[in-house]
Amino acid sequence: MKIINKKIYISKIPIEKLTKKYGTPIFVYDEKKVRDNFRRVAKAFQKYYPKFKLYYAIKVNSNPAIAKILINEGAGVDAASINEILLAQKLGLKKEKIIFSGNYLSDDDLKAAIKSQAIINLDDISLFSKLLKFGQPELISFRINPGIGKSNVGEGATTAGPKAKFGIPHEKALNAYKEAKNAGIKNFGAHMMTGSCVLEPKYFQKITAKLMDIIGEISQKLKIDFQFIDLGGSLGIPYKEDEKELNIDKTIKLISKTIKEKAKYYKISEPLVCMEPGRYFVGNSGYLIGKVHAIKHSYNTFYGTDINMNIVPRQILYKAFHKIYVDNKINQKKFDTLLTGQICEQTDVWSKDQKLPKLDLNDLILIENCGAYCFGMSYKYNGRLLPAEILVNKEKSYIIREAEKFEDMIKNTKIPQHLTSLK
């Protein structure tokens, strides 16, 4: 996004032009930003630790075109469910490029996972014997809870530590690998995912050291080698204005240094290092654009837009901050403003957390950092259906998901005959 003469551009297209073509509300993604984000991480690994693989945690935004950009860049896909594995396969990924990190899986999930031949990060030891019912995988990786977790976007995104529902407590990890070894498994990996959206390089060093200690001790005790460690995602992006960008070069440098030192200390070979960022690759590439439709002078003045709560779940689910820009009004004086959507709930009120310029009817509103966990969590509500997704590449734009229509609202539904035959 950039500003030229107070007008907002995404890549080389003014948002006014996009809304004339596609209407509002729309999600718009900038292809170049996605590529740049991926390359920044890949480049740092090339520099410090070339034995790496990056996976895209597709849960954050499962639009096939977005995933395809990253796949073209060389990413694999980290899937949270069988449907996400199916999507990765449909996008042409080979089995070794798909990693499956589910939790509390059903027998059907495990059966399909074995069939897919994806690399499996098993979330608990109890799932291992269930998995064997359906086949013996070539390799097994367990998700380990290293006992510490952190997130910059709320407790709900802290996915390790004593409260977390995820992973095997590190004290019990040895037993898990022992059981797998006894069952005849020859190849091993170790996975962790301790939280979301962390912005401090040293945190990554700390958890990497912890995981290396865990696999170092297990390697020595069980005489097994770890082919890979999977450090999870966690690479953060700034949402609030006072937050600084994560220094990727420094982060990967610290991770790399730690792995090498620990491998030497435990006399184990340096493992392949996997990471599975989602938010970092796409979060800042996406924007939501809406329009001011009505201005009401009630006990307060409300500015009504089509940026409804159902399409921007982070704001209501996590009280997340997303900076708002108004086209043609950049740098104008700002005031306390109540921006609302069209949903019949009082929760559907925006911008309590930031000041905005004086708004007029038909003003275009842009919300930043909407590439991750926005469309991916949006829901139909009040008959307000899901908006279109647009991809922008320099001066070109493409619809990558059509806006839902009335037919999508009643899709899959049936009225039993006894209800239609009555009056």
Assess 418 for contact with a copy of itself (CB under 8 A): yes
The answer to whether 370 is a known catalytic residue is no
Q: How far is the C-alpha of 143 from the C-alpha of 155, rounded, in Å?
A: 20
Nearer to a copy of itself, 218 or 292 (CB): 292
Residue 286 phi/psi, 5-degree rounding, is -110, 145
Contact by Cβ (8 Å): 204, 210: no
Q: Is 422 in the site for a copy of itself (CB under 8 A)?
A: yes
Q: Least separation, in Å, of the C-beta of 423 and a copy of itself?
A: 7
* Residue 287: how many other CB atoms lie within 10 Å: 26
User: How far is 306 from 342, CA to CA, in rounded Å?
Assistant: 6
Residue with tokens 């925006």: 350
Map residues 53-92 to x or -, x wherever contact with a copy of itself holds by CB under 8 A.
Answer: -----xx--xxxx--xx--x------xxxxxx-xx--x--
Q: Of 8-16, 105-113, 280-288, 322-330, which segment contacts a copy of itself by CB under 8 A?
A: 105-113
Alpha-helical (H) ranges within 304-404 are 313-318
In whole angstroms, how close is the CB of 363 to a copy of itself at the nearest point?
13
Q: Does 336 bind a copy of itself (CB under 8 A)?
A: no
Point out the catalytic residue in the list 274, 344, 370, 374.
344
Nearer to a copy of itself, 132 or 330 (CB): 132
Answer whether 288's CB lies under 8 Å from 367's CB.
yes
The whole-angstrom separation of Cα 401 and Cα 357 is 31
> Which span sits near a copy of itself by CB under 8 A: 245-253, 257-265, 289-297, 323-331?
289-297
Structure token digits, residue 227: 């082919």
| x-or-dash string of contact with a copy of itself, 238-277, rule CB under 8 A | ----------------------------------------
Total interface residues for a copy of itself by CB under 8 A: 108
94 binds a copy of itself (CB under 8 A): no
Q: Name the region of 321 (left: φ>0; alpha: ψ -120 to 50; beta: rest).
A: beta
Contact status: 344 vs a copy of itself (CB under 8 A):
yes
When the beta carbons of 109 and 327 are compared against a copy of itself, the nearer one is 109
Site for a copy of itself, residues 148 to 207, rule: CB under 8 A: 155-159, 162-169, 193
Nearest-approach distance from CB 61 to a copy of itself, in angstroms: 11
Q: Does 423 bind a copy of itself (CB under 8 A)?
A: yes
> If we measure between CA atoms, which residue out of 306, 219, 325 comes closest to residue 266?
219
Q: Among residue numbers 291 through 310, which ones bind a copy of itself (CB under 8 A)?
A: 291, 293-300, 302, 304-306, 310
Residue 147's region, left for phi above 0, alpha for psi from -120 to 50, else beta, is left
Q: Under a CB-based contact definition with an 8 Å cutoff, are residues 378 and 401 in contact?
A: no
The alpha carbon torsion through 271, 276, 277, 278 (nearest 10 deg) reads 170
Cα gap 269→262, rounded to integer Å? 10
Sole binder of a copy of itself in the list 50, 184, 241, 410 (CB under 8 A) = 410
Considering the rule CB under 8 A, would residue 408 count as an interface residue with a copy of itself?
Answer: yes
Among 15, 112, 127, 190, binds a copy of itself (CB under 8 A): 127
Question: What string of DSSP letters covers 129-186?
Answer: HHHHTT---SEEEEEEE-S----SS-GGGB-SSTT-SSSEEHHHHHHHHHHHHHTT--
Q: Which residues are catalytic?
A: 344
